[in-house]
Structure 1
């Protein structure tokens, strides 16, 4: 891989679930308007960062993942 994961597993799951909720809410509540589609695309991108475990914005900021107690 060309990247190194910079998210913990809890954050990854939260991003996947949050992204799916953003897509669902934007398309059901706002509909197929320009705003609804822009929000749906942002939800898809959020879910994708959770699926692959890498966030480019966090990498640019130099953020390290924080894992909870094991």
Structure 2
């Protein structure tokens, strides 16, 4: 199944940077070995994946499309 990209390049880069920061903070920062730390890291992984792939399911459900 192929998805059409619905994220512009600047937002993809921002999501990757924020995802790396969230994973780092959740696992190694102020909240190691806490449930909330793992939740933050999991959210960071989702941000990383949407940044790399260029498709966000929540944006697609809201009807967002990338202008070409």
| Superposition TM-score, scaled by structure 2 size | 0.89
Aligned residue pairs: how many? Answer: 67
**Alignment gaps of 5+ in structure 2:** none
Are positions 1:65 and 2:66 aligned together? yes
SS of 1:29 mapped into structure 2: coil
**Alignment gaps of 5+ in structure 1:** none
Cα deviations across residues 8-65 of structure 1 (Å, max 9, x unaligned)? 1110000000011011112211002111111101101111100000000000000123
Residues in 1 aligned to 2:67 and 2:14: alpha-carbon distance in whole angstroms: 14
Structure 1 runs of 4+ off > 2 angstroms? 64-67
Partner of residue 33, structure 1: 34
